[in-house]
Chains A and B, each alone.
Chain A
C-alpha cells in the first residue's frame, strides 16, 4: 500500500472522553510496528469539558513535530461531532477521511439555551461535504447498550481499523488491547472494538 508519510491523524473530542488514552493507544500500535510516532496533546485544564484534540503523526523516516500544519490532516477520528467539524475547519482538506461519533456532548451555552447546538443532520451533511470519505456512527449509544460509556473509545478504534484508511490490522489492535488492559476487561474492550468494526462493514 502506498503509504502517506507522514500520516497525520487527529483524534478529537471533549475533555473527559478519553481522547488522550485513545490517541496513545493508536500511537503505540504504530510504534510497535516500527513506525516513528509523535503525539501532540492539549490537556490540563481543558480536561474539564473543554475541546480536546491529539495530533498523531506516523512516519517510517523520522519523528515529526507534535503539531500538524493547517489543512494537512489525513484522518480525523472524532469522538464528538461538533469537535469533528471544528477540526475539519482547521485541518481538513478535500482528501481527508473522517470517522466520527454522532452523539453530542452539549457545551454549557447550549444547555442553558443561550446558543444552539447545530442540528445533527446538518452536522452529518457538513462532515460528508468536507471529506472524501466518511463513516458516522453512534458509538456512545452502542457503548451504553454494552453497559459502559467508556467503551466508546474502543468502538471508534474498531471502526477506524475496519475502514482501512490506516495500515493497522484487526490483529494489531486486538494484541494491543490485550497488552493495554487488565485481563478482566480486555475481552469487553475487544468486543467493543468488534462492534465498531461491524458498524463500518455494514456502512
Chain B
C-alpha cells in the first residue's frame, strides 16, 4: 500500500516522518508499530489474517537494521524470536490462531521463563473462519499462559499498542500478547505516524542467566505477581476509556472490533444520550477498578467482543467477588443470548443485542424494499466456493490423483491438508479429498490408515500436501510412515511457494524473506534419504505423471510422488500467457456421446465456460491465463492451443 509520488520518496513503513498521515492496512499499521519500537528480529509463518505483518517488515528490514525471517513453522518462528529476546533485542512473532496452536508447546511455558528484550506475540484470530478451519478465540490461551493481553480497536490503535507492547514487555520481563482479528488486520484506515526508534542493541547471551521454566511453582508465583503488576499498569492505560453519559441506561463494554461497531450502532439507534461505552484495550488481566469506576449497582451491561464471551465471563466473575448480593450489575452478552454465540460480530447483530436489552425499536430499511431485495438475491445469486485459479497446477495434479484412484477402484480417497490444493473439496475440485484438519494432518492420518490392513482395510489412501506444508508439519508424519512400513502414498504438490497466504518463500525456495540467497532444502533428496520410493513429475505432463503414480500406488511400502510445477498465478505474472487457447466448435462434441460436456462438467476450470446457445464449450478470454493444460483433457481434441 504505497503512494507513488514523482520525484518524492514513496512512503513505506520505515519512512521517518512523524505526523505523516497515510491510509494503512491494519497489519501494515502493526508492522509500522514494530518498526517504531526499534524491533530488531521478526520471525513468522504465513497465516491469514496475519501474513502482511512480516510481509511488510521484510520490505524495510535492511533499511531499519532488522532481521526478518519466514520460519518453517510457527513454533520455530517463536523460538527464533525468543532467541533474540534472550539476547537482549526486541523481537516479535506473528501468526494466525491455528499457528498459535502449533506454537503452543513453547508458548505455554515461555512466560515462566521470562524475557530480556521486549517480546511480542501477535495472534490474528479469524471470526467467521473466512480463511481458517475454526474460529477459535485465542484470548483464552493468553490467559492459560499467563500473558498480559492487548486488543486493538482500530488501525491507528493497532500501531500504538504494538509499539507500546515492547515497553510493557521490558517493564515486566514478560512476553506480551496482542490479539487482532480479520476486521482489524485486514481493515484499512488513515493512520498518523510517530517517531521511529532505532535501538541498534548488541545481541548478547548472559551466561549468568538460566532460561528455564523451573522451578515451575516458584516461577508461576512470580508470574502471577507480574500479572498483578500488569493489571495495575492497565488501570490507568490510555487504551481504556469511557465515552458517554454519566448515568447511562446501558453500558457497553467493548474490546477489539466492538468499539467501532458500538459507535455505529448507537448512532443508528440514536442512543448517544443514554448508552455509554467502556472501551477496553487491555483485556487480560482485566482492569477491574477502572471498569468498576464506570458502573453502578444494578447497571445494565452488554459485553461486545468476539468470538467467545471471554471478557463477559471474567467480568461476571470479578463483579461477583467485588460487588456481591443483589446489587450486581446485570451483564448481558453471548452467554445470555443477546449477541450471537458464533460467527463474527457486526453492527447489525450488535444492534439486535442492544434492542433486546433496552426494548427499543430499530428502523432498519424500508420493509417492502427489504423483501424485494432479499427475494431477488435469493433467486439470482449462487454460492461462489473458492476454486483453483486458471492455470493452477493443483487442478492437474488432483485430476491425475482422481483418475488413479478411480481406476484402482478400491474406494480410495485423499487425506487432505491446508493450502490452495485443499480446494479439491469444493465445487471446482475433483472431490477425492475426504478429510481436512491441521497442518500436516493429512500426512499423519495417512500413516495411520496405512496400518489398518490387518483389520480388513483395503482402500487406497493418498495423502497430499503442498511444499510449504511438507516442511511445516508433514515430514515427521512421513518418517513415521516409512519407519512403520505404512502402505501409503504421499503426493507432494510442489509449486515453489506458499501460495494461499500470498506467495511467501519457504525452506525449499532459493531466496529468503528479505530476498537474500538461502540454502534450498530439496524435497526429493530429503524423501529419498528416508529410503522410500520417490518419483518426480510435472503434473502438466499428464501421461507421465499418471503412469508414475499408478505404478507407485500398488507398492506395499511408503512412497512419495512429487508433482512439481510453479504456481500458475506466479507464472502468469512473471511470464504472461504461454498459449492462446480456444475451442474448435467443429470438433467440440458438447453434450453428445463421447463427451457430455466433459471439460465444463468434470474438468472445471473457470475459464472454460458453456455456451448455452451454441451448445459448445468456450474459452472465457477475460479469465484464461493461457496455461494450455486443458488441451490434453478434451477427448475430441477440440480445445486448441497455440504457443505464444
Q: Which A residues lie at the B interface, using CB under 8 A?
A: 14-16, 24, 27-28, 31, 36-51, 63-72, 82, 85-86, 88-90, 92-94, 103, 105-113, 115, 117-118, 122-123, 126, 129-130, 140, 143-144, 149, 152, 178-182
Q: Roughly how many angstroms separate A85 CA and B606 CA in the complex, as a whole number?
A: 21
Task: Assess whether B500 is in contact with A65, with CB atoms less than 8 Å apart.
Answer: no
B178-210: CB near A (< 8 Å → 1, else 0) gives 000011101111100000000000000000000
Q: Nearest residue in A to B602 (C-beta to C-beta)?
A: A112
Q: Roughly how many angstroms separate A178 CA and B385 CA in the complex, as a whole number?
A: 36
What are the residues of chain A within 8 A of B426 when measuring CB–CB?
A: 108
What are the residues of chain B within 8 A of A16 when measuring CB–CB?
A: 389
What are the residues of chain A within 8 A of B423 when measuring CB–CB?
A: 48
| Count of chain B residues with a beta carbon within 8 Å of a chain A beta carbon | 75
Given A70-B348, A93-B365, A108-B604, is A45 in contact with B622 using a C-beta cutoff of 8 Å? no
Given A64-B260, A85-B381, A112-B604, is A41 in contact with B188 using a C-beta cutoff of 8 Å? yes
Stretch at the interface among B110-118, B224-232, B368-376: B368-376
Task: Assess whether A65 is in contact with B387, with CB atoms less than 8 Å apart.
Answer: no
Residue among B186, B346, B384 with the highest chain A CB neighbour number at 10 A = B384
Q: How far is the CB of A137 from chain B (nearest CB, A)?
A: 15
Given A16-B389, A44-B49, A48-B387, is A123 in contact with B188 using a C-beta cutoff of 8 Å? no
Q: Roughly how many angstroms separate A28 CA and B480 CA in the complex, as a whole number?
A: 52
Q: Nearest residue in A to B345 (C-beta to C-beta)?
A: A67
Q: Among B23, B187, B389, which residue has its beta carbon within 8 angstroms of that of A41?
A: B187
Q: How far is the CB of A122 from chain B (nearest CB, A)?
A: 7
Q: Among A15, A37, A89, which residue has its beta carbon within 8 angstroms of that of B381?
A: A89
Q: Is B156 an interface residue (CB 8 A)?
A: yes
Q: Among A14, A36, A67, A178, which residue has its beta carbon within 8 angstroms of that of B384?
A: A14
In chain B, residues 151-168, which have Cβ atoms closer than 8 Å to a Cβ of chain A?
Answer: 154-156
Q: Nearest residue in B to A30 (C-beta to C-beta)?
A: B23
What are the residues of chain A within 8 A of B507 when measuring CB–CB?
A: none
Task: Assess whether A111 is in contact with B608, with CB atoms less than 8 Å apart.
Answer: yes
Task: Assess whether A37 is in contact with B376, with CB atoms less than 8 Å apart.
Answer: no
Task: Assess whether B263 is in contact with A65, with CB atoms less than 8 Å apart.
Answer: yes
Q: Is B138 an interface residue (CB 8 A)?
A: no
Q: Roughly how many angstroms separate A82 CA and B382 CA in the complex, as a whole number?
A: 8
Task: Assess whether A109 is in contact with B382, with CB atoms less than 8 Å apart.
Answer: yes
Q: Roughly how many angstroms separate A90 CA and B22 CA in the complex, as a whole number?
A: 31
Q: Nearest residue in B to A115 (C-beta to C-beta)?
A: B382
What are the residues of chain A within 8 A of B233 when measuring CB–CB?
A: none
Q: Among B386, B389, B420, B604, which residue has its beta carbon within 8 angstroms of that of A111?
A: B604
Q: Roughly how many angstroms separate A108 CA and B264 CA in the complex, as a whole number?
A: 37
Q: Among B369, B420, B597, B606, which residue has its beta carbon within 8 angstroms of that of A105?
A: B606
Task: Assess whether B382 is in contact with A117, with CB atoms less than 8 Å apart.
Answer: yes
What are the residues of chain B within 8 A of A109 when measuring CB–CB?
A: 382-383, 427
Q: Roughly how many angstroms separate A198 CA and B427 CA in the complex, as a whole number?
A: 39
Task: Assess whether B264 is in contact with A49, with CB atoms less than 8 Å apart.
Answer: no
Task: Assess whether B186 is in contact with A42, with CB atoms less than 8 Å apart.
Answer: yes
Q: Is B609 an interface residue (CB 8 A)?
A: yes
Q: Among A31, A45, A130, A140, which residue has its beta carbon within 8 angstroms of that of B131?
A: A45
Task: Assess whether A85 is in contact with B48, with CB atoms less than 8 Å apart.
Answer: no
What are the residues of chain A within 8 A of B156 when measuring CB–CB?
A: 63
Task: Assess whether A123 is in contact with B380, with CB atoms less than 8 Å apart.
Answer: yes
What are the residues of chain B within 8 A of A70 when measuring CB–CB?
A: 348, 364-365
Residue among B49, B263, B369 with the highest chain A CB neighbour number at 10 A = B369
Q: Roughly how many angstroms separate A31 CA and B25 CA in the complex, as a whole number?
A: 13
Given A38-B187, A70-B348, A111-B609, is A93 in contact with B369 using a C-beta cutoff of 8 Å? yes
Q: Roughly how many angstroms separate A13 CA and B189 CA in the complex, as a whole number?
A: 21
Task: Assess whether A108 is in contact with B376, with CB atoms less than 8 Å apart.
Answer: no
Task: Assess whether A49 is in contact with B387, with CB atoms less than 8 Å apart.
Answer: yes
Q: How far is the CB of A121 from chain B (nearest CB, A)?
A: 12
Task: Assess whether A108 is in contact with B385, with CB atoms less than 8 Å apart.
Answer: yes
Task: Assess whether B364 is in contact with A46, with CB atoms less than 8 Å apart.
Answer: no
9 A-B residue pairs with Cβ-Cβ distance under 8 Å, sorted by A, are A16-B389, A24-B23, A39-B187, A41-B188, A45-B386, A71-B370, A94-B369, A122-B380, A143-B622
Q: Roughly how many angstroms separate A93 CA and B368 CA in the complex, as a whole number?
A: 10
Q: How far is the CB of B21 from chain A (nearest CB, A)?
A: 8
